[in-house]
Amino acid sequence: MGVSQRIESEAERERLKKVVAEYCDEQGGFIIRTAAEGVHEQEMAADAAYLKRVWTKVMERKKRNQTPLSAVWRAGSGPARAA
């Protein structure tokens, strides 16, 4: 899991890591961007859960179709872009 270097407060960096840590597994993790600074924990957790669901669906489609990820998922706007 990575955290933007622009988030200077070590306490904030640790808080953000703690919020999304439970959504990290062997399939991947998160890069926490500067926009996450100060965001409420519930909102961060909801975004992390959503991204994990999207990533799981992408990987299922890839496995089922044996196609490259670029053909399975086209990045849109918003948080899903990170997937």
Q: Is the per-residue pLDDT at 10 higher than 60?
A: yes
Tokens 């086209």 label which residue?
74
Domain of 23 in residue numbering reads as 2-82
H/E element, 72: helix 69-72
* CA–CA separation, 81 and 83 (whole Å): 5
pLDDT tens column, 13-64: 999 999 999 999 887 889 999 999 999 999 999 999 999 999 888 888 888 8
Half-sphere exposure of 80 (CA within 13 A, CB side): 12
Pair of tokens at residue 8: 């200077």
Nearest residue to 14 (alpha-carbon basis) of 3, 5, 25: 3
Give the count of domains, the chain: 1
pTM of the model: 0.71
User: Considering the chain, what is the average pLDDT of its residues?
Assistant: 84
Residues contacting residue 22 through CB under 8 Å, at least 6 positions apart: none
What is the amino acid identity at position 34?
T
